[in-house]
Amino acid sequence: MSALLALALMSAISNGDVRLETADLPVPGVPGQYVALHCAVPARASRQSVLFIHGASFPTRLAFGFEFSPGDSWLAYMAHRGFLACGLDFLGFGASSRPASMTGPSADGAPVTSATEAAQQIAQAVDYLRKRRGMATVHLVAHSWGTIPAAAFAATHPDALASLTLFGPVTPETRKQGAPSASRSWWSITAQERYQQLRFKDVLPADLSLLEPAVSEKWATEFKASVPHVPGDVDGSLRIPAGPLVDIDAAHAGHYPYDPAKVTAPVFVVYGDYDTETDDARSAAFLAKFTGSPLKWRLRIDHGTHVMHLERNRRSLYESTCAFIQAAASTVQETSSPMPASGSH
């Protein structure tokens, strides 16, 4: 498939004053493979964009694009504020293509979609937003494992981003480490099992439930529909790329595929008080290593878990991210404006 043909294969639906589009972008160096970029397009043209980066197990339309009611998603929220709001499905996830190794035995292939590979796919999406959609700025918002390739991209493309938001980043942990993830191309889980994990019943107080009602009603069904079924698999078993599991093990041990000091974009670390991948001490130590950033924010939102974007306090997450993006824009303007001459008024 040629690049021009892939860019032309764009499906679009309208939802009020926001148009939803999906573009298939060819993966460089991987013939026949493509990644899906879902975009909520604002009614008024804008040259400002936000690119969302999903986590280790479920794609854009189950995360930032999940509709709690028609037209109510994080993508739509940002589009209503004038941004071209897009979410990237990495290779092997959601509406993107599946490498051949995901159709065979798990032990026969290398882990699919490592953070390094994902960073290259982010580069492809950013290039598309700038060259094909005419975006002047790109703000990156990443969740969980997605914060690893997002920061890796930021570290190697210092002029590409207007800001970098790391939501629920995977940070080093001091408790005893388990065995590293076995080398395999994919792993499996059922949609209902993954939904039960989202409830975080082993973390939250017994009387506290945080998931939005719509997640309980339809998330598992939509997750199951997002993964193609492979003949011979147990009914309901979903194949998920295993590369992120390797990256998460490494991050827990303090090893990342990038140097945080080389990130020169403003950085925001945001997480919930019940987040299992970070806490106050871990996130403070993590953020302190981004010494090249001109602006660093850190925020803990109470009554939120690692999947706060699917919970009742999700709008606090939306609003704080918007506030940071605005502050980052002001910081960039201030640092790029020439100083007035001595004695001027």
pLDDT at residue 328 in the model: 96
CB-based contact 287:267 (threshold 8 Å): yes
Collapsing DSSP to helix, strand or coil, 19 comes out as strand
pLDDT for residue 10 is more than 70: no
DSSP assignment of 295-328: -EEEEEESS--TTGGGBTTHHHHHHHHHHHHHHH
The residue among 180 and 214 whose pLDDT is bigger is: 214
Share of the chain above pLDDT 70, in %: 89
pLDDT digits (tens, 9 = 90+) for 73-96: 999 999 999 999 999 999 999 999
Residue 37 has pLDDT above 50, yes or no: yes
Query: Could you tell me which residues are beta bridge partners of residue 23?
Result: 10, 37
Q: Which residues pair with 288 in a beta bridge?
A: none
Burial of 122 (0-12, 13-18, 19+ CB in 10 A): buried
**Residue with the two structure tokens 């994990």:** 197
Taking 70 as the threshold, does the pLDDT of residue 343 lie above it?
Answer: no
Question: 3-state SS of 188-199?
Answer: EEEHHHHHHHHC
Do the Cβ atoms of 282 and 171 come closer than 8 Å? yes
pLDDT, one tens digit per residue, over 190-204 is 999 999 999 999 999
Tokens of 285: 């130590």
pLDDT at 6 over 50: no
Q: What is the pLDDT confidence band of residue 232, given thresholds at 50, 70 and 90?
A: confident
DSSP H/E element including 271: strand 267-272
If you average pLDDT over residues 151-179, what whole number do you get? Answer: 89
Domain spans, the chain: 3-335
Instruction: List the single range of 17-26, 88-97, 179-188, 266-275 with lowest mean pLDDT.
Output: 179-188
Q: Are strands 18-26 and 186-190 parallel, antiparallel or unpaired?
A: unpaired
Q: How confident is the model at residue 28 (pLDDT cuts 50, 70, 90)?
A: confident
Q: How many helices (H) and strands (E) does the chain have?
A: 10, 11
Statement: residue 133 has pLDDT above 80: yes
- What residues contact 297, with CB distance under 8 A and at least 6 apart? 266, 267, 268, 269, 270, 324, 327
For the structural domain made of 3-335, what CATH number should be given? 3.40.50.1820
Query: What is the pLDDT at residue 336?
Result: 53
Decide if pLDDT at 216 tops 50.
Answer: yes
pLDDT tens-digit series, residues 261-281: 999 999 999 999 999 999 999
What would the mean pLDDT of 14-20 be, rounded to a whole number? 73
**What is the structure's pLDDT at 4?**
33
pLDDT for 206 equals: 95
CB-based contact 73:64 (threshold 8 Å): yes
Question: Which range, of 131-140, 205-214, 225-234, averages the lowest pLDDT?
Answer: 225-234
Mean pLDDT of the chain: 91
